Amino acid sequence: MTGKPNRLVNPKDLEQLAKLLDGRGGLSDKLDEAFTRASSLGVSGKLSSLRPMRTWVSDTGPELRKKAAYARLEDGDPLAGLLLAGFTPEQLKNKNLPPDLLLVANAAAANEGAGQRLAEEEERRDSRRLARARAG
């Protein structure tokens, strides 16, 4: 769980959800299978409303992993920076990594996170300005 008082996130739950979406045998594989079968049966048009799910699944899995890594970073997990760099927990398991490498990775991740939060806040501000301009 993150140390933030207004947000409760279990990074392992986010990683598991991402795995269910785009991992082996997950929703992505099931969608691909459904579209392949529908195509071979000549009824792929019946699944056209599900087509946007493919993009959503391929975008959401990595996004959930990134959010899990940020939650780990907020909790002080020494491996969080490496997770944000693209390594998986399985790749980092039982590795004896030098502390200076972990510090650099976490510092870089923290700086990226600060920049990302600033960009999100500016986007929200721009959206509010646009909404006020449309209303006024």
Q: How confident is the model at residue 110 (pLDDT cuts 50, 70, 90)?
A: confident
Q: How confident is the model at residue 34 (pLDDT cuts 50, 70, 90)?
A: very high
The CA-based dihedral angle spanning residues 118, 124, 125, 130, taken in that order and rounded to the nearest 10 degrees: 150
Question: Which residue, 99, 57, 62, is CA-closest to 79?
Answer: 99
Q: How many CB atoms lie within 10 A of CB 125?
A: 10
Q: How confident is the model at residue 20 (pLDDT cuts 50, 70, 90)?
A: very high
The answer to whether 21 and 28 have CB atoms below 8 angstroms apart is yes
Look at residue 73 and tell me if it is in a domain. yes
The answer to whether 85 and 97 have CB atoms below 8 angstroms apart is no
The predicted model scores a pTM of: 0.66
Look at residue 78 and tell me if it is in a domain. yes
**pLDDT-wise least confident of 46-60, 64-78, 85-99:** 85-99
Q: How many CB atoms lie within 10 A of CB 9?
A: 17
pLDDT at 129 over 60: yes
Look at residue 18 and tell me if it is in a domain. yes
Residue at 2: amino acid letter: T
Look at residue 52 and tell me if it is in a domain. yes
Q: Give residue 86's domain range.
A: 11-135
The answer to whether 72 and 62 have CB atoms below 8 angstroms apart is no
Look at residue 49 and tell me if it is in a domain. yes
Look at residue 6 and tell me if it is in a domain. no
Question: How many H-runs (helices) and E-runs (strands) does the chain carry?
Answer: 6, 0
Read off the pLDDT of each residue in 85-90 and give the average, rounded to a whole number.
78
> How many domains does the chain contain in total?
1
